[in-house]
Structure 1
Amino acid sequence: MKIAVLGGLGLQGRAAIADLVASDGVEEIVCVDTAPDGPARLAGLTDLARVRFVVPEGAIGQALATVLDDVDAVIDLLPQPLMREAVKAAIATRTPLVTTNYAKSIADLAPAAEQAGVSIMTECGLDPGIDLVLYARAARQFDSISSIDSYCGGIPEPKAMAKPLCYKVSWNFDMVLVSQNRDSVMIEDGNRVAVPAGQQHDNPFIHEIEVAGLGRLEAFPNGDALHYVEMLDAAKGLRRSGRYT
């Protein structure tokens, strides 16, 4: 199987390539990125014998389609603004695509994907992604759910903390800023409650949680809880829910 990794030299892309190299059945990994020094950037990370590097040239849509036409599947780890071009190229070449980005911005492409018979799997990261799998797994353990909250965040090891905020950018800084300025939707006492982006860090839902080995951490609303819990049959009578960072 041949797998293309779009944005293969990014923080997530490098990890994906290392995992693919270690996976049975993957005969070639195509690393697609605009940086021309791919081999040097990945040197020492993993065995590059099965990794082919491609620097796209010209119009991004056609460049991606040319690459995808020669692979069996694609992992899209490009910045969110380029997601649409990646999905359109996948549909045009009938190449199954997995992306970590939210589905909302490309929802209108669903009919074209269905007509082409190609699978486009969105929201397949940590948040959204693994957290939603845990949501569904937890929901199956109960006949009904009255309250469900999701907390997601990463704690960098001490040597990786950037002073003075002790923060580590694990994907790209533009999207960090976007995530810190988006509307949230909560459920409180069975009612929908909207938290505007401007009040993300100034609202009554902010609280602290205790994490073993780390101490007390602040949690603030950061997502549309209603959108996801509506997918759970066991949560029809939900009284409270929130998605927190």
Structure 2
Amino acid sequence: MKALVLGFGLQGKAVVHDLEHSPAITQIAAADIAADKARAYTAQKGYRKVRVVPLNAAQPELLEQLVREAAPHVVICMLPPDFQPAVARAAIGAGVPFVSSSYAGSLPELDGLAQAKGVTVLPEMGMDPGIDLILGRLAVDELDVVHGMRSYGAGLPEPACAADNPIHYKITWTFEGVLKAYMRPARFLKDGKEAAIPGGRIFRKENSHTLNVPGVGALDAYYNGDAMRYIDVFGLGSELREMGRFAMRWPGHNQFWDVMAELGFLDETRTRMGDTEIS
């Protein structure tokens, strides 16, 4: 099986690593705008299945050409979410299955085209979103009636690794993506009514809580994006009174980012200081 991986950042490297060691994969084309750096990395790692190709993903015609020429059995998109629709469209056009770890975003608009072509399109196939949603749906299907659902997801560095920085966290995806997630509004169901928290306020004490996880200990939990859209996805009925999605981090994380948000460090609004605009 041949795989085409688009994007050779932190997540792309991890995907290529797993594919390199998978007996199901015989060839890997890894595409990135920084092709020279990607080649140096794969050479250092001694990868034998990987062929690095240059790509400017901002040019749809180049995307389409690459997918045609690479002739993969699957297209794996590890580019930032803004590139996802164009990549999915190129994969569908070539009749190749598409998978990514990003939220679906506007991809449902391509559903008709994908079905007409008989192409599988699978966004939200990471850990969060992804594994958490699959496990959530499996749990729901075991129950007759669901009155409330809380979904928790976390990617935690080992304590010794987390202790060397003030946020007790390691960036395993784009730092810009982390910050955007922290400013994303939250939507959820509470006491049978839809509720929302504006971006930047999810870390406030009244909006966050602590969860004790057996074998791990106490973790900070905070609202993670839009839980309302998953009510229909999970097939939940009118009996539902509570629905929330949460992310978890080591203790102290919420307090740190609450201060940063209050000070405006997560606000992208441009402000002029002297002759310079900053955000």
- TM-score, length basis structure 2: 0.80
Separation of aligned partners in 2, 1:89 and 1:16: 20
Q: Secondary structure at the match of 1:15?
A: helix
State the alpha-carbon separation in 2 of the partners of residues 203 and 110 from structure 1: 40
Distance (whole Å) between structure 1 residues aligned to residue 79 and residue 163 of structure 2 = 25
Q: What SS does the aligned partner of 2:173 have?
A: coil
Residue 126 of structure 2 is aligned to residue 121 of structure 1? no
Residues 32-72 of structure 1: per-residue CA shift (max 9 Å, x gap): 11221323213454x52221110125862122212211212
2:42 and 2:50 in contact (8 A); partners too: no
Are residues 83 and 161 of structure 1, via their aligned partners in 2, closer, same or farther at CA, if it must alter by over 3 Å? Answer: farther
Aligned residue in 1 for 2:206:
204
Give the structure-1-normalised TM-score: 0.90
Structure-2 residue corresponding to 1:51: 50
Give the superposition deviation at 1:231: 2.5
Counterparts of 2:195 and 2:179, CA distance in 1: 23
* Counterpart amino acid of residue 116 in structure 1: K
In the alignment, is the contact (CA less than 8 A) between 1:6 and 1:76 conserved in 2? yes
Judging changes above 3 Å, is the alpha-carbon distance between structure 1 residues 210 and 58 closer, same or farther for their aligned structure 2 residues? Answer: closer
Number of residue pairs aligned between Structure 1 and Structure 2: 243
After TM superposition, give the deviation of residue 162 of structure 1 in Å: 4.9
Aligned residue number for residue 6 of structure 1:
6
Q: CA deviation at 1:108?
A: 2.1
Indicate the residue corresponding to 1:184 in structure 2: 186
Q: Check if 1:27 corresponds to 2:31.
A: no
Q: Secondary structure in 2 aligned to 1:108? A: helix
Determine if the alignment matches structure 1 residue 133 to structure 2 residue 144: no
**Aligned-partner Cα distance in 1 for 2:199–2:153:** 18
- The residue identity in structure 2 corresponding to 1:114 is Q
CA distance in 1, matches of 2:58, 2:145: 51
Contact 2:3 2:29 in 1 (8 A): yes
Alignment partners' CA distance in 1, 2:95 and 2:185: 34
- Partner residue of 2:38? 38
Which segments of 5 or more consecutive residues in structure 2 lack a partner in the other structure? 248-279
**Other-structure match for 2:267:** none
Aligned to 1:159: 161
Q: 1:243 corresponds to which residue?
A: 245
Partners of 1:61 and 1:88 within 8 A in 2: no
Q: 1:113 to 1:161 in 2, by over 3 A?
A: farther
Unaligned runs of at least 5 residues, structure 1: none
Aligned 8 A contact 1:140 1:234 in 2: no
**Pairwise CA distance, 1:164:** 2.1
